Amino acid sequence: MALTTDFAGIEPSGQPNLQRPAEQRSDYSHYKIVPARYPSRQVGSVFAVAVIGSILYSTFTNPQWGWNIFAEWFFAAPVLAGLGRTLLLTVLATVSGSILGTALALARVSKSPLLSGLSWGYIWLLRSIPMIVLLLVLNNLGYLYQTIHVGVPFTNVVLIDYPTVQLLTPFAAAFLGLTLNQSAFSAEVVRGGILSVDQGQLEAAAALGLPRYRQVFKIVLPQAMRSILPTGFNEVIGLAKSTSVVYVLALPELFYTVQVIYRRNLEVIPLLMVATAWYLVIMTVLSVIQYYIERHFSKGAVRNPAPAPFQAFLRRFRRPLLLTAAISASTGAPARASGSLREAGVFRKGGTVRIHGISKRFGSLQVLDNIDLTLLSGSVTAILGPSGSGKSTLLRSINHLEPVDDGFISVDGELVGYSQKGDTLYELKERDVLKRRADIGMVFQSFNLFPHLTVLENLVEAPVYVRGVRREEAVLLAKELLARVGLGDKIDAYPRQLSGGQQQRVAIARALALRPTVLLFDEPTSALDPELVGEVLDVIKELARTGTTLVIVTHEIGFAREVADTVIFMEGGRVLEAGPPARIFGQAEHPRTREFLAKVL
């Protein structure tokens, strides 16, 4: 008991007493902290020092290494010229190989079987041919084709007609060979990166109506870079070393130059060390570049990114200042929703959704079965039903994320995913579907925020690239919406730095930033902890009074009862019952609805 009372602020009961004045608490500033000792670690360190010491000793005391000859040749003009060629070939083949490899990877994942097959064939062939064989074939291409002739087929129009040997110099053959080889390997690295990006990211980009090129270059590839970079840099390092293969073309790059010199002066080891030291320099520079590029593309990937070495060094001195700044920032008033969403003035009149006899099958499974519904402008519809009843599929078909097999859907009289001429419906091109989608916002169960973009960038992307809004206007609207969902202080945060509830509120604001007439929610709270559900439902409740048409798939029965003006009950791909919440929850007509509600209420 005496022990516990010794510790100021802790009562004998063990509970902290925060009321006790500071002067009564003990001062521990004179206490010294002794770190734990690990004898095996110390033995390991001594061993490492002994190994490093003996390697250095033997390297610098053994005269056979010939360090004086090494020093003589290290900066010699022919060596530097060879190094220049090695660097030039590495840079050129990396750039062109990566561009070609990315194009091949995109072709490989494209929906066109011919394009994908062509890409597969190219990769298969180039990865199979040994590098030396490829270089020698290119060097002897003049034997196969005396001139390189490019023209318009079946006409006399000639664009290029040039002797092959003049065009394919040893340097050009080396560049071409390294590029072709590099592109085949990087294509697979890029494809692996693309496949590692969550499918939800593409869906979210498509649901926002972002054009295809923007989906690829702004959403998918930057995220894929995280897995592309480590293997990609391995390839580049391999390439820098394999440039030595071009010696078969008698091209004096670094290694070939060194070989020529040691054959004349017979100082093999010192000259091999010259080449090795330069390769070490190249690899070190590449590793530093890799570190910074990886760092750039890891934005938003971790909650608390580690500072770069230089930043860490500076922070040691700035820490007290930063701490003070952090404390004064954290004592500021918590962000609150400013005003109600209704007052934001950003909402358009809700769209009327008409669903005409839609059906959908996945293989032999009938997921939607001849559904007819009308959702009036500004209405709030909750879709309930057991798992697998087709609720999400119905919702996703409203914005054509899930094309249907039969029937069609219109919003304000305009068909979704089709254009109509007489009795014929023509499927729209993807580009036109994406434009049309901008009016139909969607909020996903797993948020699907873009993790590599800040909260603000998440909101600004689609208005600028889909609606063509000026960036400054998009930023103003985004800040307004974020303030209204209570996240005005999070505009520069990355999604992973937010709680689940906050992420979902950002996702709602992102959908609203396009000023949609219809907003679809696919189980917006089911990925959230019970404590966070309320904050998201509150935002949706606010939205329900703005005039936007809302369609919500939910398991939150109480919420549906309170907010919806129509409740739909689905089972087996059919709408069994639809009506006002009072009737559905009080006197459901269908026995299956009553049975389901009895279980969940």
Given the rule CB under 6 A, which residues bind ligand ATP? Answer: 362, 365, 367, 385, 387-393
Q: Where are the beta strands (DSSP E) in 418-491?
A: 418-421, 424-427, 440-443
Whether residue 515 contacts residue 462, with contact meaning beta carbons closer than 8 Å, is answered with no
Q: How far is the CB of 407 from ligand ATP (least distance, A)?
A: 16
Measured from the CB atom, the residue of 197 and 478 that comes closer to ligand ATP is: 197
Residue with structure tokens 């434009």? 435
Measured from the CB atom, the residue of 525 and 546 that comes closer to ligand ATP is: 525
Measured from the CB atom, the residue of 223 and 393 that comes closer to ligand ATP is: 393
SS3 304: coil
Measured from the CB atom, the residue of 123 and 383 that comes closer to ligand ATP is: 383
Measured from the CB atom, the residue of 390 and 500 that comes closer to ligand ATP is: 390
Measured from the CB atom, the residue of 251 and 576 that comes closer to ligand ATP is: 576
Residue with structure tokens 């070393």? 241
Q: How far is the CB of 555 from ligand ATP (least distance, A)?
A: 7
Measured from the CB atom, the residue of 307 and 388 that comes closer to ligand ATP is: 388
Q: How far is the CB of 365 from ligand ATP (least distance, A)?
A: 6
Whether residue 164 contacts residue 146, with contact meaning beta carbons closer than 8 Å, is answered with yes
Question: DSSP class of residue 343?
Answer: G
Measured from the CB atom, the residue of 393 and 502 that comes closer to ligand ATP is: 393
What are residue 557's phi and psi, to 5 degrees? -65, -45
Q: How far is the CB of 525 from ligand ATP (least distance, A)?
A: 13
Q: How far is the CB of 343 from ligand ATP (least distance, A)?
A: 34
SS3 441: strand
Q: How far is the CB of 520 from ligand ATP (least distance, A)?
A: 12
Q: How far is the CB of 387 from ligand ATP (least distance, A)?
A: 3
Q: How far is the CB of 541 from ligand ATP (least distance, A)?
A: 22
**How many angstroms separate the CA atoms of 138 and 151, rounded?**
21
**Contact partners, residue 25, CB within 8 Å, separation at least 6:** 8, 9
**How many angstroms separate the CA atoms of 269 and 281, rounded?**
18
Retrieve residue 32's tokens. 């010294």
**Contacts by 571-576, CB closer than 8 A, 24 or more apart:** 571/385, 571/386, 571/389, 571/596, 572/366, 572/369, 572/389, 572/390, 573/359, 573/360, 573/366, 573/367, 573/368, 573/369, 573/371, 573/389, 573/390, 573/393, 574/369, 574/370, 574/371, 575/371, 575/372, 575/373
SS3 519: strand
